Chains A and B, each alone.
Chain A
Amino acid sequence: MNKYDFILIIILIFLSIIILVIFEPKNVNIVDVYFENKIIKTIDLNEDNEYDVKGLNGNIHIVVKNKELKVTNEVSPFHLCQKQTLKNSNDTIICLPNHIVIKGKSEVDTVVGD
Chain B
Amino acid sequence: MINIKKIVRISALIALSIVLSILEGLIPVFNIPGVKLGLANIVILTTLYIYGFKEAMFVSFIRILFVCIFRTGLFSLYFSLSGAIFSLISMYLVKKTKLSVIGVSIIGSIFHSIGQILIAYIILNTNIIYYLPFILILSIVTGTIIGYISKENINFLKNNIY
Per-position binary interface string of chain B over residues 58-83, scored 1 when its CB falls under 8 Å from any chain A CB and 0 otherwise: 00000010011000100110011001
Interface residues of B in 18-71 (CB under 8 A from A): 33-34, 36, 64, 67-68
Binds A, one of B2-10, B101-109, B153-161: B101-109
Output the nearest chain B residue to A15 by Cβ-Cβ distance.
B136
Known interface pairs A2-B100, A109-B124, A114-B67. Does A25 touch B132 (Cβ–Cβ under 8 Å)? Answer: no
A residues in contact with B103, CB < 8 Å: 2, 4-5, 8
Per-position binary interface string of chain A over residues 101-114, scored 1 when its CB falls under 8 Å from any chain B CB and 0 otherwise: 00000011111111
Interface residues of A in 1-59 (CB under 8 A from B): 1-2, 4-5, 8-9, 12-13, 15-17, 19-20, 23, 25
Known interface pairs A9-B106, A114-B68. Does A16 touch B133 (Cβ–Cβ under 8 Å)? Answer: yes
A residues in contact with B93, CB < 8 Å: none
What is the number of residues of chain B that contact chain A, defined by CB distance less than 8 Å?
A: 38
Q: Does B162 contact A (CB under 8 A)?
A: no
Output the nearest chain B residue to A18 by Cβ-Cβ distance.
B133
Known interface pairs A16-B132, A20-B133. Does A111 touch B34 (Cβ–Cβ under 8 Å)? Answer: yes
Is A113 in contact with B33, judged by CB distance below 8 angstroms? yes
Distance A17 CA – B80 CA, assembled complex (angstroms): 27
Is B100 in contact with A1, judged by CB distance below 8 angstroms? yes
Interface residues of B (CB under 8 A from A): 33-34, 36, 64, 67-68, 72, 75-76, 79-80, 83, 97-100, 102-103, 106-107, 110, 116, 120, 124, 126-134, 136-137, 139-140, 148
Nearest 6 CB-CB pairings of A with B: A113-B79, A16-B133, A16-B136, A5-B103, A114-B80, A20-B133
